[in-house]
Structure 1
Amino acid sequence: MAIKDYNHKVAERLMRYVQIDTTADPNSTSFPSTEIQKDLGKVLVQELLDLGVEDAEMDEWGYVFGTVKGNTSNDVPTICFCAHMDTAPDVTGKNVKPILHKNYDGNPITLPDDNNQVITTDKHPYLKEKIGDDLITASGLTLLGADDKAGVACIMDFVEYLMGNPGIKHGDIRILFTPDEEVGRGVDHLDMEKLNADYGYTLDGGVQGSIEDESFSADAVKLTVHGVSAHPGYAKGKLINALKLGGKILAALPNDSWSPETTEGREGFVHPTSFDGIQEKATLGFIIRDHETSKLAEYEARLKEIAKSVIDQYPGASFEFEVSEQYRNMKEILKEVPFVTEYVIDAMKKADVTPRPVIIRGGTDGSRLSFMGLPCPNLFTGEMAIHSKHEYVSVQDMQKAVQTMGELVQIWEQHK
C-alpha cells in the first residue's frame, strides 16, 4: 500500500494522548521531573508491543525505546525518529479536552470552556493556509499538548504503517520517546549506546514542510546578589537590599534590543527568566541565546559588566555569576553531513510537501543529540501556537509528516 493511501490514525492517537497529563516541572530535581510522564510512556510501550515491536520498553528514566527491524539486504544506516512526551509548564496540561473541528472554514474558533479564548487568522496567520483542513484544539482552559504529542502520534502512526506493509523496504528504525524536553533536560540520562542509531530526526516542528537544521546555542546564567541585612527600624546607613540591587540590574538592561521581545531571525538575546530572594540575598536567572556560539561569551561578559557596574556602587554588596551550558547549534554538526537534511527535502517532495527550511529560535532534543553523536534535524508536525491555550494542529499536516517519514526511510534504503 502506498503511504498516501494509508488510513491514518494520527488524529485519534493525538486526541487520546493529550488527555494524559505529562506536564514537566522546571523546579523538580528528580528525573523525569514528574512521574506522570511515565503514564504516557507505559501506554506507548504497550501500543508498540501490540503493533509487533517486540523490543519495546521504558527504562528507569522514562525513555521509551523500540525497533522496527529492517527488511532489506542492503547495508543501511540505522535511523532514529524521536519525539518528547512531556508538555510545557507554561499552561496547565491537566484535564485536556481535545476538540476536532472538521473542515475548518476560516472563521474565528471560540473555545467552549472559555469564550474569551478565540483563535483567529489575525492572531494566527498560518490558519489561512489550513482552510478546509481538520483542526484539533483544546477547550480553552488548557494547552492542547500537540507539542510534542503530535510528534508522538506521527511516529506511532508511521510504525503502524510500516508494520502493516512489509513490502516497504527500509533499514533498522529506532523509536525514541523522551521526557523533560520542555525543561531542557530531555536527553540528560539517555543511553546512546542503547539507542544505537546512526542518524536521527526529531518530530517537533510547526508548519507543514518545515525542516530545521539550525538552532540557537544556549547557556543559562545564575546571578546571585548578596546585600547587607539590617533591622528595617535601624537600617539607615547599614541595609543594602539585595532585591533592590537585582531590580537595578534588570533596569540597566537595554529596552530596545538584546531581548526576545525586540529581536528576530538570527538575532540573539539575554532574557531574565526568574527573580526571587530576600533583602540579604537575591537570585536572578537568565537564558542566553544566539545562533553563533562564540557570541554567548560576549553576551555573558556584557551582562556580568552590567551587574558589576551596579554592585560596585554599594560597598559591602557582592555578586556571583555562574554560567551553565544548555545546548549548541545543531548546524555545527549537520553541516558535516548535509545529506541528512537533503534526504528529508527529497522525501517531502515525494510526499507532495513544499520544503520550508527554517532556523529555530530555540532548541530541541535534536540540538543536544547532534552533539552526542546523532546528527538530528527537526521535522514538522503541524503543531502551532504552542505553550498556549490557543494551541492547535492540522490533522492533514500530521498525515503529511507521516507520509514524509515513509518516503524518507525508503530514500535512506536506496542510498545505502
Structure 2
Amino acid sequence: MFKSLLHTLFGERSPSRPPLFISFIWLVYLAFPLHAVFMLPLVEMVVGLLVIALFAVMYIYSILHERGRFVLLYVQMAIIVVFTLKVDPGFMFMGFYLTPLTGIMPTRRKFIITWLSLFVFVLSVLVVYRNELTSDDLISVIPAMLIMLVMPMAIRFGRRSKELREKLDLANEQIAILSANEERARISRDLHDTLGHSLSLITLKSELTERLILKNSERAIQEVRDIQATSRAALQQVRELVSGLNTATVETEIHNALQLLAAANIESRLEGEYREGSVTPLINNILGMCLRETVTNVVRHSGASCCTIERISMHDSMLLLVTDNGRGIDDHSTDKDRREGNGLKGIRERLKLVEGKMTIEKHGSKGTRVTITVPYVNRSSMGR
C-alpha cells in the first residue's frame, strides 16, 4: 500500500499534468484559509472546515483525473468566491489553485473558457474591494493577480512545447526508419545492378573459355585473364558501393556494355551522342546504372543477335535507347509486374528520383526497345 502511494506521488505520470508532489505543495497554503476559518464561530468553523476539506479533495481529484476537471474547477471557483465575499478578502488568493487546473485543460476551448472565467473572477474581486484596498494592498495584490493569470498560459505553453518535442522526436524516428529502409533498398538495387552485370560477364566468358580450351588455348588464356580482371573490378565496385562511392557514368557503362555484348556474341552498335556536362553527376550516375541493367537484361533474356545503344540529346531531356532484335515482349500479358523483375523495378525507382521515365515497347516484327528519358532540370534544382 505504501509503495503504491509512493509510485502514485513520484512515479510515472500522465503528460497532461505536472508532477504530483509539485501540485500537492500548494496544499500547504490552505493553512492561511484554515487560520481564518478557525476564527469563526463554532458552527461556521465546522462548515468552513468541511468545505475546505471538500475543496482539497476536488483539487487533488482534478489534478489526477481529466474527467470532470472542467466542472470541478467551477465548483472550486464558487467556493473561493463565497469564502472571499463572506469570510475574508484574503481568500481570493485561493485562486492560485485554479491556475494549474486551467493550464492542463484537455482542449483549447475549455482552456480559453476557464481562463476567461479566472480573469472575470480576478477583475470582479478588484472591483468589489476597490474601495477597501490601500496602495500597500495593491502592491501585493496586483502582481499576485497577474501571476494568477499568466501561470495557466505558461503551463499551457510548456505542455504544448513538450507535445511538439515528442512529435518531433517521433517524426525523426520515423524519418530514420524510412531512411534506413530506403538505404537498404538502394543497396539492394546497386548490388543487383553491379554484381548482376559482372557475374553475367564472368559466366559468359567462362562458358566461352570452356569452349576455347581445346580449340584455341591462347584465346582461352586471354579470356581467363579477362575473367580475373572482371572479378577484380566487381570486387572494387562492391567496395565502392559499401562506401557510397559508386560513380557509374553513361560513358563508363557504355564501354562495359559493349564488352558484355561482345562476350555474349551479340553484335553491338553505338549511335548518337550527348553534350558533355549536359547532365548532373547524379543523373549521369542513374543513367549509367539504368543502362547497365538494361543491357544485362538483353544478354540474359532477349536471345538477340544485335543490340543498339543510342544517345539522344533533346532541348529539355536526355534519352537513352536500347534496342534489340530478340524474342520481344509478351503482348498478351496484362500484369506489368509479372514480366518486370527486380532489375526493371529498380530502374523505375531510380528514375523517379530525377523525374525520369522508362518505356518498354516492341520494335518491328520482333525485338524490344527500352527508352529511358531524363529531364535536364530535375526536382532538386527546381527547388533551389
The structure whose residues are more often strand, as a share, is 1
TM-score tier, shorter chain, comes to under 0.3
Q: Could you tell me the TM-score, scaled by structure 2's length?
A: 0.20
Structure of larger gyration radius: 2
Q: Could you tell me the TM-score, scaled by structure 1's length?
A: 0.19
Bigger relative contact order (CA 8 A; separation at least 6): 1
